[in-house]
Amino acid sequence: MNLLKGNFYSRDSNVVAKELLGKILVKGETGGRIVETEAYYGPDDPASHASSGRSQRNEVMFGPAGRTYVYLCYGMYYLLNITTRKEGEPGAVLIRAIEPRKGIEEMKERRGTKDAKNLTNGPGKLTMAMDIDKEHNNIDITKKDSLIKVLDSKEEPENIGESGRIGISEGEDMDLRFFIESSDYLSN
């Protein structure tokens, strides 16, 4: 189980999004296998937070790859992204769903449900289950002692599906959502 390095993340967003499938996301005592992601870009992507230039919120997307980008959505839910591409070229991958592997009891408690399939099958749910919030923005996840890490995996995902992104109002036609078709833990 090797830690993914900076050169994994510094590529194009859609490549990183696709290759993150099957990898293991770890935060503290909790963790799971990534089964659903979405790619976001910069000025050319109307759905991206970075579409209209740098701002206080999105500045991490403009920085180096391999950092966390955590922000509050709809005033209630934190969403977890990982930055991609080079410094000055904004990009990120949204982690939409994982399959629970580690600390399942703890995640059940945080989410208040016994149903394993309902623990982390959505971007707002997985941050709740793993206790991720604004404090975890802009963490360098390529460091060994980082609180949040992504580990390589020998289990290569089989059936990778593509579709338009979810929950946005522009740019849905771009097919930048990637997921493992056989997984029981995809978002709704």
Contacts with DNA by CB under 7 A lie at 38, 40, 47-50, 52-53, 55-58, 61, 69, 71-77, 79, 81, 92, 94, 111, 118, 122-125, 166-169, 187-188
* CB nearer DNA, residue 69 or residue 158: 69
CB 51 within 8 A of CB 45: yes
Between residues 63 and 167, which has the closer beta carbon with respect to DNA? 167
Residue 24 Cβ vs DNA, minimum distance, rounded to whole Å: 20
CB of 133 to DNA, least distance (A): 11
Q: What is the DSSP letter of 95?
A: E
Residue 19 or 38: the one with the smaller Cβ distance to DNA is: 38
Question: How far apart are CB 18 and DNA at their closest, in Å?
Answer: 16
CB atoms within 10 A of CB 79: 20
Which residue's CB is nearer to DNA, number 10 or number 127?
127
Total residue count of the chain as it appears in this document: 188
Question: How far is CA 76 from its chain centroid?
Answer: 18
The CA-based angle 71-82-73, given to 5 degrees, is 20
Among residues 87, 98, 41, which one has the least CA distance to residue 65? 87
Looking at the DSSP bridge assignments, the partners of residue 26 are 31, 149
Least Å from the CB of residue 90 to DNA: 9
